[in-house]
With several copies, the nearest count.
Chain A
């Protein structure tokens, strides 16, 4: 018996719970040269904004212990070019497409989502209300409950497919924000986005990123992400997509035991671009070893002390 990897989130069925995280897989073309995208449950695009953005000057990334800092600055082609030039490529790749949307004003989120509403290949939208890398207030949305609710409610008016709210870990109480997102109408919560961090070059005395600070990601933050997923799972009812430091099937199992229905793999793609292939395979093996018929049997099953 092959264990069933299918998961259903907000009425949408995914072949498996493994997705690639926003900003770590472009718009899919490059990864498809390393492995077939149909391996994935879904691909989550780089954050799309209303207008194209070229991003911050280099250096934009810095290696840290078991992690990295980035301040790419939401470099992307803009929603129009995305729909015209990038989305068609994803149409026949037999994977779900989640478009991550970012903005600096509520209206910008609304405008982008309104354009995505009529694009059939788009299965869901993930609202990046938590990017720490834009001055105009990207993070503000995600650290303020009222703003979170309002942003999501506004987008809901123009976008009818399921909406994912991507939460920031850089808050005192993520549950408060999660509840606000749920209240606003988010059908799914994804967490975590990157953790605010900095690094300094001791030779030049300059920050290692031109943005001075950036987002910490990779295995280093996995324990932080797990604690947040656990907290939100125990407080909210909508399905959760776990993100943060996942590099192997064992990590996926940890997130699911804490309550995640699916997961996203980000930084690990830089280290091992075909790691999703291995994760899907090893996840099956794990379920078999444990005699579980479906990956859904793991959800929230952590046995707390």
Chain B
């Protein structure tokens, strides 16, 4: 695991996406290239009454500007305060943290399973793969949300050239239903191919993706969430039970785990 740095940095750019979703670009930061898809940062706003940092997946990096992007949804105390940040404001971040995704073989077909605020790391993974010369047509990006407003950065995703499969529960964008349904169809249809799963999203989605992986013997990785007091592996607060017994720390052994590795 690489070293992590704890430092003040600035809001370079803030953008309201849709609904309660925001993008924040933070920098300047040293060694931005050490940030890999799956890594997260641990963020703190100064002088707030929220004592602990919050974890945010890195959504992309801008090496020329020594900056990184996170995408967040306003759901509680910290994110509400983050939504009032302005360009030039100071935040403190600890980065990069966690274990990153393992890239697929170029011969494999990747199934991205994204939901809600689980979208950012998979977008990073996808854009990273494009830079590494992967064929966009080997990536099927399934993106689920309750409604159209939950499906972020559509044009950005499309620009990568990957095969985009939006799914919404209310049918307001893309196919109607849960994202796992078309994925199972896809898996059945492409049984012969070497498939690989990458999932990040709400608990139910992760469970379903994990089950699909186990059921159809598709290797892959899941990125988990857990309340993280420390983010660096010292408090033992963020653990998840392992199928092999015992616990693993989501912040240190994860957040990226292999399909079948953890009890969801």
Contacts and interface: CB of A to CB of B under 8 A. Distances in A.
Contact of A270 (B3, B226, B229, B241): B229
Nearest to A67: B51
B4 A34 contact: yes
A63 interface: yes
B186 to A, nearest CB: 33
A218 B239 contact: no
Interface residues of B, number: 33
Interface string B237-248: 111110001110
Interface in A11-25: 23-25
Interface string A53-83: 0110111110101111010100100000000
Given A33-B232, A61-B227, A70 B237 contact: yes
A271 B50 CA distance: 11
Contacts of A66: 49, 51
Interface of A is mostly: loop
A54 B247 contact: yes
Contact of B235 (A33, A70, A274): A70
Interface string B139-182: 00000000000000000000000000000000000000000000
B17 interface: no
B214 interface: no
A52 to B, nearest CB: 9
B52 interface: yes
Given A30-B252, A33-B1, A63-B51, A270 B239 contact: no
A46 B237 CA distance: 13
Contacts, number: 91
B205 to A, nearest CB: 19
B232 A30 contact: yes
A72 B229 CA distance: 12
Given A34-B4, A54-B247, A61-B229, A271 B53 contact: yes
B6 A34 contact: yes
A57 to B, nearest CB: 8
Interface in B1-55: 1-6, 44, 49-53
B234 A269 contact: yes
B3 A25 contact: no
A3 interface: no
Contacts of B130: none
A75 B226 CA distance: 18
A272 interface: yes
Contact of A24 (B5, B53, B235): B235
Contacts of B3: 33-34
A277 to B, nearest CB: 9
A55 B236 CA distance: 9
A57 B238 CA distance: 10
Residue from B44, B235, B246, B252 whose CB has the most chain A CB atoms within 10 Å:
B235
A58 B240 contact: yes
Nearest to B237: A61
B187 interface: no
6 contacts: A33-B3, A46-B236, A61-B235, A65-B49, A271-B44, A271-B53
Interface of B: 1-6, 44, 49-53, 92, 94, 226-227, 229-241, 245-247, 252
Given A59-B227, A271-B51, 14 more contacts: A25-B234, A26-B233, A30-B252, A31-B232, A33-B3, A34-B5, A61-B227, A63-B50, A67-B51, A75-B247, A269-B230, A270-B52, A270-B235, A272-B6
Which 3 A-B pairs give the minimum distances between C-beta atoms?
Answer: A61-B237, A270-B230, A30-B233
